[in-house]
Structure 1
Amino acid sequence: METLANLESFVRSAEHGSFSEAARRLSLTPAAVSRNVAILERNLGVRLFHRSTRKLTLTEAGEAFRLAIADNLDGIQAAIAGAASGAGEPTGTLRVSMSPTFGMTHILPLLPAFLARYPRIRPEWHFENRAVDLVAEGYDAAIGGGFDLSPGVVARTLAPAHIIAVASPAYMAGRVPPIDPAGLQALNGIVMRSLQTGRVRHWAMRDVAGNEMRAPLAESIVLNDPAAMREAAMLGLGVAMLAVPDVLPALENGTLVRLVPRWYSDAGAISIYYASRALLPAKTRTFVDWVAEAFKRERLAERFAGSLT
């Protein structure tokens, strides 16, 4: 039996003539929509779309299939929404994975009001620096970036993941601030060694005009955790390249200052991931909507944008 995710990807792609537009409407990536459609075609044993670099058009079999399921799909989605809304108060254990620094700074403070509104939900939150497998590991949701969108996994973008250069006012006292990323090499660098690859991560930076330049930080101090890098920078040990959300409170209270403020690195997006768009438990949908509304209310997407000085 086909999953609703595959069928919905097909119907929305047919409606809009584009995997990209369907992905935008479904809060998926174009690759995930294309993969869902490919799985559907393989399972049915027919080609549903003619694909070209310019457009997406239905085959004869694809048009017949669309006409056969379109109304039924809408009915199923309406039934699911009705059942979810009529199922009573959201309840159950809510297993969520998120990075320690980001989660404790920006998500954990949302918990008191969330539990006051939904007291029958029991949070089980894991703070970890890794991309989990939502389905295999039994998570209801995860917040972060760089997750693989396997079939049926939805990503709802919350904010950009921009990396900026920061240091303490004490470290910069008496030093000439660099005018571009290349100038960072004259300063002590606090860099991170990846737990996955074992390599030290170096960044290229860009400005809003589209210019790009490497940021060659010296490997003066090597750490393996963003929170430790932030603390080392606040101790005046050098310059660190860190995600804006991880250093925003320190920037706002003056504990850290931003260097080369016109420049940033783009690490993608911060998203909230969950395992299925349809048949989503009320506890998960409630949490996803709560987080998304908080980001909107607090203007976090704008505040996390390293492209804004």
Structure 2
Amino acid sequence: MYDDIFMFVKLVEIGSFSGLSRKLDTTQATISRRIQSLETNLGVSLFHRNTRRLEVTDIGKQIYEKFRNQEAHLSSLIEETVHSSHGISGTLRVALPIAISRTIITPHLAKFLAAYPKVNLVTSFITGQIELVKDGFDLAVSIVLPKAQNNIVKLLHRFNIHLYASSAYINKYGNINSLAELGNNHILKMGILTPEGTIIKEVIAKNRITHEEQQISLNPRLSINNLLHAYEIAQSGEIIVAGWDSLLDPYMKSGEIIKILPEYSFGEIPCYLIRQSLETTALQSAFIDFIERCFDYYRADSYVNSELIL
């Protein structure tokens, strides 16, 4: 019966019999029979059958709330018992943000695998919103908050957005020395798309020295949803791009890219660690610790001078 309860929990989280059947690689009829069997054993109705969508009854909601973290808790206890003498093992499915991971997480993935030789990682690099259960992920790092309110979310870092131009741009048009100059409409500026596809046309420019803030209009003619391409766009020598320092650091060191108005930031991008519940398996805990170490390493600027130690 407990397996049926855990199936019921997954059904509530995914929201459809078809979605759960794809995730579990089974038929909708099998899931329906197991849910009906669970209802018979419990003597209650878990879903309203007179609606076109999946609607959980009040008693169903109570059962869901009491059991939604129990499967992870049991898995954690089993892993702690089994792996206490054999080491952490298994396959972990994780989602990572494309641009942020390139310099902060991806370079260290091999070190994680070396530290845990019995572990396999299945890694997807994603830009949009992530739903752990529906998308089949154990953990995620994302710049977008999840829809599921029962996910556990931790802020890892806030990236300050700055503006950059190529050396060719500066040689051709000259440097920009004030926010007023930046506001000139003849200057081509790159804009950022939100995860929902909205173009960010106005931003707050914050002076990190004086802490003064001023709203400015970007009026972008080119907007993108992935800042990983900022360098290539800047190399045209015609467009000012947005990004953050670690994304463009190698090109700034070589002199190819120059930060515009370096005393100002133009908004920020938050980055979150997302998991399904407070209860985590030993493998999940190890990867969470790895991710936090990656961001600590980044904040300390030690990526310039030393190696990340797990």
- Per the TM superposition, whether the score is higher than 0.5 is yes
| Local SS of the residue matching 1:179 | coil
Q: Does the 8 Å CA contact 2:128/2:195 hold for their aligned counterparts?
A: no
User: 2-side partners of 1:115 and 1:231: how far apart?
Assistant: 32
Question: Residue by residue, what CA displacement relative to the aligned partner does 1:138-160 show, whole Å, maximum 9, x if unpaired?
Answer: 21221132313744422333322
| Local SS of the residue matching 2:278 | coil
Find the counterpart in structure 2 of residue 241 from structure 1.
242
Match of 1:297 in 2: 297
Supply the AA of the counterpart residue of 1:103: S
Which letter does structure 1 place at the counterpart of 2:128? R
Structure 2-normalised TM-score? 0.63
- Give the superposition deviation at 1:182: 3.5
Q: Distance in 2 between matches of 1:201 and 1:121?
A: 44
Alignment of 1:286 with 2:276, yes or no, is: no
Q: Which amino acid aligns with 2:205?
A: M
Which residue of the partner structure matches residue 225 of structure 1? 226
**Are 2:260 and 1:262 aligned?**
no
Tell me how far apart the structure 1 counterparts of residues 120 and 80 of structure 2 sit (CA, whole Å): 24
Return the offset for 1:207: 1.8
Q: Which moved more, 1:289-298 or 1:123-132?
A: 289-298
Residues 18-72 of structure 1, C-alpha deviations (whole Å, 9 max, x = no match): xxxxxxxxxxxxxxxxxxxxxxxx969xxxxxxxxxxxxxxxxxxxxxxxxxxxx
Corresponding residue for 1:29?
A: none
Q: CA deviation at 1:300?
A: 5.3
Change (3 A) 1:90 1:181: farther
Equivalent pairs, count = 234
Q: CA deviation at 1:229?
A: 3.1
Relative to structure 1, the CA distance from residue 293 to residue 192 in structure 2 (aligned partners, 3 Å threshold; closer, same or farther) is closer
Q: Structure 2: how far apart are the matches of 1:84 and 1:211?
A: 57
Gaps of 5+ in 2: 1-60, 64-73, 304-310
Q: Is the 8 A contact 1:149 1:155 kept in 2?
A: no
Deviation at 1:115, TM superposition (A): 0.8
Partner AA of 1:288 in structure 2: I
Counterpart among 134, 137, 160 of residue 135 in structure 2: 137
Matched with 1:206 is 206
CA distance in 1, matches of 2:193, 2:161: 16
| Structure 1 gap ranges (5+) | 1-41, 45-75, 304-309
Residue in 1 that maps onto 2:163? 165
SS of the counterpart of 1:166? strand
Confirm or deny: 8 A CA contact 1:159 1:300 kept in the other structure: no
SS at match of 1:199: coil
Structure-2 change in CA distance of 1:87 and 1:149 (3 Å): farther
1:282/1:275 CA distance change after superposition, 3 Å: same
Name the amino acid aligned to 2:90: G
Partners of 1:98 and 1:173 lie apart in 2 by 37
TM-score (norm 1): 0.63
State the structure with more CA Rg: 2
Distance in 2 between the 1:118 and 1:301 partners?
25
Distance 1:229 1:204, change over 3 A: same
- 1:1-309 to structure 2, matched below 5 A, reads 83=81, 86=84, 88-148=86-146, 150-186=148-184, 187-194=187-194, 196-208=196-208, 209-278=210-279, 280-299=280-299
Tell me how large the CA RMSD over aligned residues is: 3.6
